[in-house]
A and B are shown apart, each in its own frame.
Chain A
Amino acid sequence: MKTYQCVVCGWIYDEAKGCPEEGLAPGTRWEDIPDDWNCPSCGVGKGDFEMVAV
């Protein structure tokens, strides 16, 4: 499982935890999130996230 960070606001998406607030169940892979999904904290698109090591 990987972790992605929003380059604008620092919000972190952890595949293992998912994001129930956004309707993303734990274990949802980054590739499986729709392309029109936006960062819940700042609204940037998926393309403005980068993979980060935690």
Chain B
Amino acid sequence: MSAPIVILGTGLAAYTLAREWRKLDSSSPLLLVTRDGGGFYAKPTLSNALANNKTPAQLQIKSVEQMAAELKAEIRTHCAVTGIDAQRRQIILANDDRLAYDRLVIACGADPFRPPMEGDGAGEVQSINDLDDYSRFHAGLENAKSVAVIGAGLIGCEFANDLATRQINTSLIDPAPWPLSRLLPEAAGEQFTAGLQATGIKFCLGTSVKGVHKTAAGYRLELADGRQLSADRILSAIGLRPRTALAQAAGIARQRGIVANRLLETSIPGIYAMGDCAEIAGLILPYVLPIMHQARALARTLAGTPTTLGYPAMPVVVKTPACPTVVCPPAPGTEGTWQCLSVTGGLEARFLGQAGDLLGFALLGSTTVQSKALAAQIPALLA
């Protein structure tokens, strides 16, 4: 029998690709290898699980057995890949076993970035980037009355809002002057802040965490501006770093992520990369919608029709019910200015180019209904 297509990982990228490819090829062998349990869950549901009354166990949508059956695939779980032998077209496992691949897709995700912090509590700061992380965090919430969230980006704000719905005293700490600072202009940031404050969230902006010290009850956070904060649990959400070590050791080119072209192929023919680990056409876009576009293109390529990846403008819904928000940031490096318009119950911010053309937006509250119409006016991110 010929060697299978091998997908490294069983996250959203891996499973979405497998599903799309199976629509085109129902019989060729497929193998997925993952170091986790392989159960399918939708990662975005981690940051609104409390509001939706879901326990970590309920977040798993399908067991690994169900996935294997549906995808007609072999799935190796709790099985870390430690190397890639591109010459022999094999992956190497922790026990030195080797598995042959016909073509290999790396979809190994990203690691939460951890800032250097002082103190005996620094090692106990948690971060959440998969269902197992979330299960641990959730278990510790049972007797927690307060949580400090480090990082007021998309994920930090979503978790803060979710915690606040459970009457947990939540603080959000970020060095920027307003939350979602890379996605929202100042006026929008202020309205967003007000929405979250109304649920009881406390903001510590313009500062960072210098140290974390254990106390009898929990932790004391020492902020760079001299303020002190106490919390029972601490969650860090300050960004992700693509997992590139495996690819790099195999001689695959990387920059911030594993470098891939618009066929999603890396510098070694027959090896592809997608999802949070990949830097495709210079872009790292750790969101679901780009993964969907990647999966559809790569599925066709793997099935024999080389297909170039294209991206339309892709708005991201920020899951903060305290201030419903949709952002569609301009392409990196785009010149332009923000124009904000306050309306009843919301705010519309448009990012306009020199000619007054719409290149991005941020919609808050009542204006989120315009997301689809505005996105249609924005030039494709990858035409």
Contact = CB atoms under 8 A, between A and B. Distances in A.
A41 B44 contact: yes
Contact of A8 (B42, B293, B369): B42
Interface of A: 5-11, 20-23, 40-44, 48
Contact of B368 (A7, A9, A21, A48): A21
Q: By CB atoms of chain B within 10 A, which of A21, A42, A43, A44 has the most?
A: A42
Nearest to A22: B372
Interface residues of B, number: 18
B372 A8 contact: no
A42 B368 contact: no
7 contacts: A7-B42, A9-B12, A9-B44, A21-B371, A22-B372, A23-B372, A42-B292
A41 B317 contact: yes
B289 A43 contact: yes
A21 B291 CA distance: 22
- In this complex, the member of A5, A8, A22, A40 whose beta carbon has the largest number of chain B beta carbons within 10 angstroms is A8
Given A8-B16, A10-B42, A42 B371 contact: no
A21 B44 CA distance: 19
B292 A43 contact: yes
Nearest to A52: B61
Contacts, number: 43
B308 interface: no
A20 B317 contact: no
B292 A6 contact: no
A5 B41 CA distance: 12
Interface in B282-299: 288-289, 291-293
Contacts of B293: 43
Given A21-B369, A22-B372, A40-B317, A10 B292 contact: no
A44 B45 CA distance: 16
B44 A10 contact: yes
Contacts of A21: 368-369, 371-372
A14 B317 CA distance: 17
Contacts of A9: 12, 42, 44, 288
Contacts of A42: 288-289, 291-292
A7 B288 CA distance: 12
Contacts of B19: 48
B51 to A, nearest CB: 12
Most chain A CB within a 10 A radius of its CB, from B44, B371, B372: B44
A44 B293 CA distance: 9
A21 B205 CA distance: 31
Contacts of B12: 8-9
Given A21-B371, A41-B44, A8 B288 contact: yes
Contacts of A43: 288-289, 292-293
Nearest to B316: A41
Contacts of A11: 44
A8 B16 CA distance: 7
A22 B371 CA distance: 9
B289 A41 contact: yes
B66 to A, nearest CB: 11
Interface string B67-79: 0000000000000
Interface in B24-74: 41-42, 44-45, 61
Residue with the highest number of chain B CB atoms closer than 10 Å, among A9, A11, A23, A48 = A9
Contacts of A22: 372
